[in-house]
Structure formats: structure tokens, C-alpha cells
Structure 1
Amino acid sequence: MSDLFIFIALLLSTCTGLSVATDQTCGNKVVSTILVDQTGSGKHHTVQAAIDSVPEPNSQWIKIKVKRGVYIEKVSIPYTKPCIIVEGEGQKVTTITYNAHEATDVSSTFISSPSHVVVRNLTIMNSYNRLSSLSKPSWNIKPAVALAVYGDKSAFYDCEFLGLQDTLWDVQGRHFFKNCYIEGAIDFIFGSGQSIYEDCRINVTAGALAPIVNFGYITAQARWSIRDPSGFVFIRGSVRGTMNVYLGRAYGPFSRVIFFQTYLASVVVPQGWFSWNYAGHEARFTYAEVDCKGTGSYLSGRVPWINKVQSTLAKEQFATYSFIDQDGWLSNIPRF
């Protein structure tokens, strides 16, 4: 571990200590647990029924414990029900899946609208066109969202998000993804969220689309002004998969994405990044790769508007939790 990284960790620890418990919106402990079980042992058989049973407005942590099984349903946590924890029994053990597609705003399997939501130990999938039907000549690419996160101060631990196009819609707000697996082919992490993805495994499945498409795209981040605090920060983790893939393409004129100490496999194209519909705005982008490794991490072939000065600034500004946790909301999530 480098001296710089140790310094960052110590600085983060100090800052967190100063801000702990500033945000006491939901308290710091679970006051009630609701059980969901398809076999009948729980009070509810569906996740949505359990969410519907939460009183509103809710102001204390309520846990919805989802037993093992495949739950074929669309789930929506409304804006008036913050302070909810949805906890499964593990990736691929507890799965929520649905087959909607077409528009991004109506296709999501799981929609989280309020602030202060925690999801843990779940697979969330949009099954539309996932691998099984790709051999059909008439197959068409359509948005099919697995997760859409609108609310602020939301965290996802040990989750799996599966889709093809537009898998994870990081719409807006501050979000934390820890030890998650994210799979897709085109723009499968997109939106205007202000988010950290720590130790997450990214699997690119664009190879399944050949010869319909020639490239995949991991991120499509939409930042609209220099004052917009949004951006995607990937700390450690890995990028692997099939087909040539761009780390990101600009979904807004000030798009911001940083990869920090991430393993990048050979699937990453030498150019790395794509300006898309914002050619001419490249000087406004913040795209950086800092201390990454792997055969896809070589910077010699990158687009010319990626520079070392930008990478140094990215390391100083975005490689700590302070990017999303200015008021200590992460430390106020109940311990699992």
C-alpha cells in the first residue's frame, strides 16, 4: 500500500470522525423487521406487498428480509417511504426479476425513489433479451433497466445487477455501491448520480451482440454544468468480459467518470473513452484512470484529451468517501 493511499485513508478516518452522526434522519438501528417468503412462512409473499405495508411517512429504519427464491415482480419504493432496508440471503440465492423493456422510466425491475434506502445480498435482474434469445436475426436492442435509483443517500452492498442495455440507472443523488457485480453491454451504468462503486466487478457482455454492434460501453454519465456535483467513481474492482468496450461515453457536456486502482482487462479499447454527441466539449469532461492495472490499462493509446494533470486532480478530489459522505450518512446505516 502506497504512502499516498495510507495518507488518504487516515484523512478519511479523521474527516469521518468529525462528521459521524450528523445525519440522524432514520436513527441508527432497525426498529422493525418484515419477512417475505414465497413458501408461506412470512407475512408477505412478495417484496412489493412488504413495501406497501410500511407506514408513511416512515422515519425509522425498517428491514424487509427476503427469503431465498426467485421473485418475478416489479418493485417500487415510493418517495414517501424512506428508511427502508431490503435484505436478501445472497446473490443468486434471492433474486428479483422482471421482463419489462422499451422506455427507461417504465422498464425498471426495481425502483428506489426516497432517500435513505439500503439494499443488500440481492440479485436484481431485467431478463429482457439476456443471452437466451440473442441468436434471433430479428433481435432488437432496447432499454431494459434492472435498477433505477432516484433517491439521495442510498447504499447497495453485495448485490448483483443483471441486464443488457441500461442495466443500472444511477439517476441522481449520492449513492454507494460496495462489493457488487454489474453486468451489461451498452451504457449499463448511466445517469447523473454522484456515486462511488467500491470493489465492484463489472462484466461486459457485448460479445453476445456481435455482429449487431462492434463496441460496448460501460458508463454514460450525464453531468450538465461545472457546478453539478455528480460523477461516477470506481475504486478498485475489475472490468472484464467479451467484445471491445469503452470505459464510458459522454451523456452530458461535463461528463465525469474516474477509475482508481481498477483492474482493466484487455476488453478495454485503446482509446478508452468516447465523446459521443458531445464532440467539441472534450475539455469539459473529467475522465481519468489513476493507478489502474491490467492489459487494458495502458494509457499510450488513449484519446488525447485525457491528461496526467486531470488524473492527479481526480486522485486528490474523488478517491475518498468525502465525495459522497460529507455529512456522515454512511456511518449512520445500521450494522449488518
Structure 2
Amino acid sequence: MNFSQKRTIIWINSGIYYEKVTVQKYKQNITFQGQGYTSTAIVWNDTAKSSNGTFYSGSVQVFSSNFIAKNISFMNVAPIPSPGDVGAQAVAIRIAGDQAFFLGCGFFGAQDTLHDDRGRHYFKDCYIQGSIDFIFGNARSLYENCQLISMANPVAPGAKGINGAVTAHGRSSKDENTGFAFVNCTLGGTGRIWLGRAWRPYSTVVFAYTSMTDIVAPEGWNDFNDPTRDQTVFYGEYNCSGAGANTTTRAPYAQKLNDTQASLFLNVSFIDGDQWLQSYI
């Protein structure tokens, strides 16, 4: 199955639509087409507490294969939690279908904004905003030319505390073929954050050609307070720039990738995109 098959296109006019949306597995080849991510949005405000779990809190949940979204935002407007708050996670979208493509979309929330759950996904020219683990899941996804904006609380100059993280990837086994790759992205905003936390032992995340401001903590990464994961995670950086990209004092398990290592993550071949994205990139 590929994107060349007949599609159902749902045109969504400018405005904010307060509703919770689920795209079921049997509704394949669906496109949501908005008028721009700053003017068209689907909005809800469930939290983990109100929806019986983080995974079910998404304003939009996609289980379908071959889903496309263009020029639209997905928002969860639940209050921004403090680190450690119980039940405050609030997902804007959960993507659990294979071969999904997001072009020019916005994802707005705080903790756990974008649940990149499972499957192969491509995000291009998107805006992703959050505070704690705001891109999480166990998908194999490429994020290209995306803006990553931390909404964590500002910290005082010289403060050492951490109050946010961009990613929490959930790869549990060496036999899984999953991971997040960020290429030609920008990372900024507020707070003092990690690039990723090892939600599961084989967590896999790469940042390449990405501009990072000084909100990134010098150590860069966190093993979820489980040193046994230091031997199994794959956290890599390649040709990044900006004040937050200094790798001198990175966590010892983080890797500064060489050309060969990085080449596996730099384009759509990472997500087998040559098999299903031909008409959309």
C-alpha cells in the first residue's frame, strides 16, 4: 500500500476546532488539509488523569496507515505542568499507524506533546512545541527542517537544574528498528533541557545539522537515572551548531558521529521513504 492509491482528503477551513478526533485503522489513505498551521487547529484538553492514561489523552489519535496532514495544527491546551506533576501529561497527537507524512504542521502542548508511537513517519517543515519529553514514543521517524521550541520555565543565569527534555524514545530491544532523527532543525525556546531521556534501554536519537541555543544543558542527555542504559542507548550528534551544540562535556555515552555513522540517519532512507514517499517530498 502506498500514497499513490486513491485518497480521502478532508479540507479543514481556517479556525480552531474544539473536538477530539480518532482516525481508525480501517480508514486508510486519509489526508487532513488545513489552511496553515497558524490559522487552522484541532484542539482538546485531556490529560493523563482525565483520560485514564497518557496514551489516550491525545486531541487527535491516528491508527490508520498512509495518513497525511498538511498545514494544520494539533493542540492540547491543558495547563503546563511542573516537573514531577502526576497525571498532567497531555498529548496533542498520537501517531500509531505506519507511513505517515506531516508537512507544514504545528504541534502544541507541554509535557508529551507529540506521541510518535509506532510506525515510520516523516515530519517536514513542522513546528513542535512542548516542555517535558515533548516528542516521545517508539516510532522510526525523520524530522527535517523542523522548529523545536521548548516551553519549559525560564531558569536563572547559572542555575544547574533541568526542567525539560525534547525527546523520550522508547526502544526496548536491540531487535527493534526504531529511532528519531532530526536533520536541519532548529532548537530554541526557554528552560534548561536535555536533548533526550532514555525512556527505554535502547533509546535511539540523532541530531544532525541542527542549530541549538544555550537552553541545552552541557551534558545533553539523560539515562533516566538508570546507569545500566548507558551501554545500550544510541545518542548521536553530527555537525550541529550554536551555543547548545558544544559536545565537550556531553554525557559519556553520547556519541559524536562520524560521516559513516551519520549517513544512516540523514535522509528518507532512514524510514524507507524511497518505498512510499516518492510523490510527497
Segment of structure 1 superposing worse, 167-176 or 277-286: 277-286
Assess, with a 3 A threshold, how the Cα gap between structure 1 residues 214 and 272 changes in structure 2: closer, same or farther.
Answer: closer
Question: 1:118, 1:156 within 8 Å by CA — same for their partners in 2?
Answer: yes
- State the distance in 2 between where 1:264 and 1:208 align: 16
Residue 121 of structure 1 and its aligned partner are, at CA, apart by 0.4
Question: 1:246, 1:269 within 8 Å by CA — same for their partners in 2?
Answer: yes
Q: Percent identity?
A: 35
- State the distance in 1 between where 2:38 and 2:273 align: 33
Question: 1:101, 1:128 within 8 Å by CA — same for their partners in 2?
Answer: yes
| Aligned amino acid, residue 176 of structure 1 | Y
Q: Which residue of 2 aligns with 1:155?
A: 101
Question: 2:29, 2:66 within 8 Å by CA — same for their partners in 1?
Answer: yes
Question: 1:288, 1:311 within 8 Å by CA — same for their partners in 2?
Answer: no
The SS at the match of 1:105 is helix
Question: 2:12, 2:35 within 8 Å by CA — same for their partners in 1?
Answer: yes
Which residues in structure 2 correspond to 1:175-190 (within 5 Å)? 175-190=121-136
Q: Which residue of 1 aligns with 2:74?
A: 124
- State the distance in 2 between where 1:66 and 1:114 align: 19
Question: 1:125, 1:163 within 8 Å by CA — same for their partners in 2?
Answer: yes
Q: Which residue of 2 aligns with 1:146?
A: 92
Question: For this pair of structures, how many residues does the alignment match?
Answer: 272
| Aligned amino acid, residue 72 of structure 1 | Y
1:34-73 per-position Cα deviation (integer Å, ceiling 9, x unaligned): xxxxxxxxxxxxxxxxxxxxxxxxxx21100001111000
Question: 2:94, 2:116 within 8 Å by CA — same for their partners in 1?
Answer: yes
Q: Which residue of 1 aligns with 2:176?
A: 228
Which residues in structure 2 correspond to 1:1-336 (within 5 Å)? 24-28=1-5, 60-102=6-48, 103-130=53-80, 142-207=88-153, 214-308=162-256, 310-325=257-272, 328-333=275-280
The SS at the match of 1:172 is coil
| Aligned amino acid, residue 192 of structure 2 | N
Segment of structure 1 superposing worse, 105-114 or 312-321: 312-321
Question: 1:122, 1:158 within 8 Å by CA — same for their partners in 2?
Answer: yes
- State the distance in 2 between where 1:276 and 1:285 align: 11
1:95-144 per-position Cα deviation (integer Å, ceiling 9, x unaligned): 1101111221221001110110000101110000049xx8xxxx866110
Assess, with a 3 A threshold, how the Cα gap between structure 1 residues 313 and 220 changes in structure 2: closer, same or farther.
Answer: farther
1:226-266 per-position Cα deviation (integer Å, ceiling 9, x unaligned): 22110000001111011110000001111100000000100
| Aligned amino acid, residue 330 of structure 1 | L
Residue 91 of structure 1 and its aligned partner are, at CA, apart by 1.2
Assess, with a 3 A threshold, how the Cα gap between structure 1 residues 87 and 190 changes in structure 2: closer, same or farther.
Answer: same
Assess, with a 3 A threshold, how the Cα gap between structure 1 residues 141 and 216 changes in structure 2: closer, same or farther.
Answer: farther
Residue 190 of structure 1 and its aligned partner are, at CA, apart by 0.2
- Report the structure number with the largest CA radius of gyration: 1
| Aligned amino acid, residue 125 of structure 1 | M
Assess, with a 3 A threshold, how the Cα gap between structure 1 residues 237 and 327 changes in structure 2: closer, same or farther.
Answer: closer
- State the distance in 1 between where 2:86 and 2:199 align: 22
Structure 1 or 2: larger helix share? 1
- State the distance in 1 between where 2:227 and 2:34 align: 43
Residue 277 of structure 1 and its aligned partner are, at CA, apart by 4.4
The SS at the match of 2:188 is strand
Assess, with a 3 A threshold, how the Cα gap between structure 1 residues 70 and 207 changes in structure 2: closer, same or farther.
Answer: same
- State the distance in 1 between where 2:121 and 2:258 align: 22
1:157-201 per-position Cα deviation (integer Å, ceiling 9, x unaligned): 001100010000000000000000111110110000100000000
Give the aligned CA root-mean-square deviation in angstroms: 2.1
Structure 1 gaps, min length 5: 1-23, 29-59
| Aligned amino acid, residue 185 of structure 1 | S
Question: 2:162, 2:194 within 8 Å by CA — same for their partners in 1?
Answer: no
| Aligned amino acid, residue 195 of structure 2 | L
Assess, with a 3 A threshold, how the Cα gap between structure 1 residues 248 and 108 changes in structure 2: closer, same or farther.
Answer: same
The SS at the match of 1:259 is strand
Structure 2 gaps, min length 5: none
